[in-house]
Amino acid sequence: MTTATPRPAALPCALDTPSSALRTARPDEAAALSALSRPFVRSGALRERPVSLYAAHAADFLILEAPDGTLDGCVGLRAYPADAGEDGELAGVVYNFCVAAHRQGSGAGAGLLRAVLVAARARSLGALFTATTGGAGLFLRHGFTPTTAHRAPRTWAESLDPRRNARVLIRTW
């Protein structure tokens, strides 16, 4: 007999590590989300975000929680309404995707990405966009392809810092 930690119905059981819990973040975890993201901000992989943003948008974040309650990974998913002249489909943006150093290479990132893809489909998002300064290998392995910021939701695309030279990727289904 196999037992598993109960998970909210909206989140898929996408991780292979039964000791980890995948769930939606809470506003009171804003400081922990910021702390998890800090090494990636310092390296230039992520943009700096204030703790208040993490608190205000906690519902955007899927988190990977270790048995001791610390956060081992997170990924944000925000829906955007279609821009004028588009086909009316909502689009989503995957952002602030990071995995703690001690969990990198364990499949945690792939599990988080699979979970966000399932969540995006459940929300009927017609396309997902992301921007990365890294190699993008994980995204490419999960069906993302290079695109231009012009295809992305306008408000998100306008927020991209051109000095970061990020690659914009899209995933459709």
Task: Identify whether 7 is part of a domain.
Answer: no
Model confidence band, residue 12 (pLDDT cutoffs 50, 70, 90): very low
Domain that residue 42 falls in: 21-172
Task: Identify whether 3 is part of a domain.
Answer: no
Residues 6+ apart with CB under 8 A from 145: 169, 170, 171
Task: Identify whether 124 is part of a domain.
Answer: yes
Task: Identify whether 151 is part of a domain.
Answer: yes
State the Cα angle at 154 between 31 and 137, rounded to 5°.
65
Task: Identify whether 34 is part of a domain.
Answer: yes
Question: What is the domain-level CATH number for residue 123?
Answer: 3.40.630.30
Task: Identify whether 4 is part of a domain.
Answer: no
Element (H, E) at 34: helix 30-43
pTM confidence score: 0.86
Task: Identify whether 65 is part of a domain.
Answer: yes
Question: What average pLDDT score do residues 105-117 get?
Answer: 96
Query: Residue 8 above 50 pLDDT?
Result: no
Summarised one tens digit per residue, pLDDT across range 131-155 is 999 999 999 999 999 999 999 999 9
